[in-house]
Structure 1
Amino acid sequence: MLGGFKCSKISLIALNIFYITVGITLIALGAHWMTSNRVTSLPVIGGVVACGVFLLLVAIGGIYATLKQHQVFLFFYMVILFCLFIVQFSVACACLSVSKETQEGIANQGWATLDYSLKGSVQQTYHCCGFSKDRSDLIFLNQTTEPNRAHPSCEKIETCSNCGAINEGTNSTTSCTCPPCLLQVESVIGQAFRTTGGVSLFFSFTEFIGIWLTVRYRNQRNPHMNGNPSAFL
């Protein structure tokens, strides 16, 4: 009995220390991105930091509840882990099963919301011009006419030729030798979905283990507090 109680207690503490490490890492990443130019979307950074803070608070509460064997705190900790398990397992299944057509649709929506200058950075990084496979966005180079589909000129990209500014309304886009950015980032998008799904699946199973350990720990009597009736529910 003593070994079982200690094993459950140490396992729960170790699991929550792992969550604290992950939470601090997420917060540090958010702070790093905030001071760099790699990520310009404040909602993305805020979401990462918020996830880190939430995970940190949950882990600290879990350690406190474990050390005190507080039945009420352990119960709420178990409920929170169960909710996180449902959400992350659903996200994992969705990311791992998303089709290529859905990925392309999401990528197109993301491209439409990108800042004009950031589109230029993507083109420079991946040596591509425009985004659509059908080149339909190459004719919309004027920010004032089609701001969502407009993109910077590709003249400065060394590997591209004949991809300069095309007069509005001109459909002669076949001379551009640069591939569209969608073709260049397809593998990156697919890898991102697979990585997100794999990480979410891994965390969902750690949360399931945490739920099982919490249930087991709540129903074990502390062998050092046999005389205290409140030490066991």
Structure 2
Amino acid sequence: ITCGLYRTGFLTRCALNILVGLLLIVVAAWGKGFGIVSSIHIIGGVIAVGFFLLLIAIVGLIGAVHHHQVMLFFYMVILFIVFLFQFGVSCSCLAMNQGQQEKLLNSSWGMMNNDTRNSIEKKLDCCGLFNNTQNLGVFMSDLHLCDAPCLKKSPCLTCGEKMLQHSSEALKILGGVGLFFSFTEILGVWLAMRYRNQKDPRANPSAFL
């Protein structure tokens, strides 16, 4: 009975890992798909965490179904490593303030050619990056070349405003979800350890003598 309870809890934990992994990948891909937001490498780290979480959850499910000692051992070790990495990435997502995001956006925007900038401006329906004294020369040059649809209707918003709003939302969601579920992964490690040490009821009892 005890083995069955641990097995049920462990399988539930693996299924939850799959859902969390998919959620992290989807939200991070949504963030990367928003043009210049892909320059924030932390989001790439979140996708990597989600992928490994999916992979290790599948390993855990197979190990639980077959009560495979070696697979369960590797599940525990790798899940603990994923926990450490996910915890660090999640804290980085939550700690990144607007000023740091602006520096990343300015750096990435400066490395782009005019065609890439025009493509982003049309996609986001905006012109230029930031309209401030520090970037006034670059902004006026971008505004002169801008061909976004918003020019025909009303004054355009800057792309920096839209990107900051979007990236802030993505980082908060990724950081919050990742941080919350990183602590539940410790429960997964504990369940795997307890279940691994239980005798397999389907096995030959004499094998443990």
Does the pair score TM above 0.5?
Answer: yes
Higher helix share: 2
Alignment of 1:9-28 (within 5 A): 9-20=7-18
Which blocks of at least 5 consecutive residues in structure 1 are unaligned? 142-150, 163-176
Q: Please, which of 5, 14, 35 is the counterpart of residue 3 of structure 2?
A: 5
In 2, the alpha carbon distance for the partners of 1:179 and 1:17 equals: 43
In 2, the alpha carbon distance for the partners of 1:229 and 1:10 equals: 24
Aligned partner of residue 158 in structure 1, secondary structure: helix
Structure 1 partner of 2:105: 107
- Describe the shift of the 1:178–1:225 C-alpha distance in structure 2 as closer, same or farther (beyond 3 A): closer
Structure 1 partner of 2:194: 216
In 2, the alpha carbon distance for the partners of 1:214 and 1:57 equals: 16
Structure 2 residue identity aligned to 1:158: C
Structure 1 partner of 2:82: 84
Query: Equivalent pairs: percent with the same residue?
Result: 36
Q: CA deviation at 1:213?
A: 0.8
In 2, the alpha carbon distance for the partners of 1:95 and 1:26 equals: 12
Which blocks of at least 5 consecutive residues in structure 2 are unaligned? none
Structure 1 residue identity aligned to 2:137: S
Structure 1 partner of 2:60: 62
- Describe the shift of the 1:195–1:117 C-alpha distance in structure 2 as closer, same or farther (beyond 3 A): farther
- Describe the shift of the 1:47–1:94 C-alpha distance in structure 2 as closer, same or farther (beyond 3 A): closer
Q: CA deviation at 1:108?
A: 1.9
Say if 2:145 is the partner of 1:153: yes
Aligned partner of residue 137 in structure 1, secondary structure: helix
Structure with greater contact order relative to length (CA < 8 Å, sep ≥ 6)? 2
Structure 2 residue identity aligned to 1:196: L
Structure 2 partner of 1:191: 169
Q: Residue deviations 1:29-74, cap 9 Å, x none?
A: 7xx99xxx97798xx9x98987666444322321222123222221
Instruction: Report the aligned-residue RMSD.
Output: 3.9
In 1, the alpha carbon distance for the partners of 2:89 and 2:45 equals: 16
Q: Residue deviations 1:164-210, cap 9 Å, x none?
A: xxxxxxxxxxxxx5443212332212111101102222331332221
Aligned partner of residue 5 in structure 1, secondary structure: helix
Structure 2 partner of 1:138: 139
TM normalised by structure 1 equals 0.65
Q: Indicate conservation of the 8 Å contact 1:160/1:178, yes or no.
A: no
Structure 1 partner of 2:185: 207
Structure 2 partner of 1:167: none
Q: CA deviation at 1:18?
A: 3.9
Aligned partner of residue 138 in structure 1, secondary structure: helix
In 1, the alpha carbon distance for the partners of 2:140 and 2:22 equals: 46
Q: CA deviation at 1:160?
A: 6.7
- Describe the shift of the 1:38–1:185 C-alpha distance in structure 2 as closer, same or farther (beyond 3 A): closer
For these two proteins, the number of residue pairs brought into alignment is: 197
TM normalised by structure 2 equals 0.71
